[in-house]
Amino acid sequence: METFKAHLDKFISIDDQEFASVISYFQIINTGKKENLMLEGEICKFKYFVLEGCLRKFFINEKGIEQTTEFAIENWWISDTFAFEKQMKSDFNIQAVEKSRILMIDYSSQEHLLEKHPVMERYFRMVYQTAYAAAEKRLRYLYEMTKEEYYIHFSTLYPWFIQRIPQYLVASFLGFTPEYLSEIRAKLRS
């Protein structure tokens, strides 16, 4: 739990006693590679914090192709935020890319947590602000950059993703086919 405590300390001040209470609202789970945590059409019951490993959020488009919209590595959150907050059916799937160790919290536990520990309200606000700002930037990159520029930008900003995540998933996240990503990478090597 040291990882989660260190992460909280980046945003809020919380002593060990309060942390012990905060962590009691979470469950710890271990997943296998490609294990599904949530399927499209299910009520979004949890939000997940990655202690170790990698998760992805995706949907299956009208052509039957998986479209990855988000990754979560160590110290990142992932969920279908809208469906979680409204406790409704999700339009997404969440799956482990790697064997992972995860903290998860359900909606009711989160509400009790926020009631008992108001400092966590500030924490989640700051996390959401950061995530929203990142989403805004990503949207702008999609409009302003060519596909090749977008790949170069992404691989420069997140080199560990390029080495860690299977290329077909990187392609899916960037909106490319795996073949097109291979072409870009071959062109950049020459």
Query: Could you report the per-residue pLDDT of 57-103, keeping only the tens digit for each?
Result: 999 999 999 999 999 999 999 999 999 999 999 999 999 999 999 99
**With pLDDT > 70 as the criterion, what percentage of the chain qualifies?**
100
- CA 44/CA 83 separation, integer angstroms: 6
Same domain, 88 and 180: no
Q: What is the mean pLDDT of residues 175-182?
A: 91
Question: Which domain, by its residues, includes 63?
Answer: 2-133
Per-residue confidence (pLDDT) for residue 113, from 0 to 100: 98
Residue 138 inside a domain? The answer is: no
- CA 164/CA 97 separation, integer angstroms: 10
Whether the pLDDT of residue 160 is over 90: the answer is: no
Whether the pLDDT of residue 165 is over 90: the answer is: yes
Per-residue confidence (pLDDT) for residue 106, from 0 to 100: 98
Per-residue confidence (pLDDT) for residue 188, from 0 to 100: 87
Least confident of 30-34, 40-44, 138-142, 160-164: 160-164
Per-residue confidence (pLDDT) for residue 75, from 0 to 100: 95
DSSP strand pairing (66-72 vs 27-31): unpaired
Same domain, 113 and 157: no
Same domain, 150 and 125: no
Same domain, 151 and 129: no
Per-residue confidence (pLDDT) for residue 190, from 0 to 100: 84
Residue 84 inside a domain? The answer is: yes
- Taking Cα atoms as reference points, which of 104, 91, 88, 90 lies closest to residue 49? 104
Same domain, 87 and 155: no
Whole-number average pLDDT of the chain? 95
**3-class DSSP state for residue 104?**
strand
Whether the pLDDT of residue 149 is over 90: the answer is: yes
Domain total of the chain: 2
Instruction: Give me 149's structure tokens.
Output: 């520029």
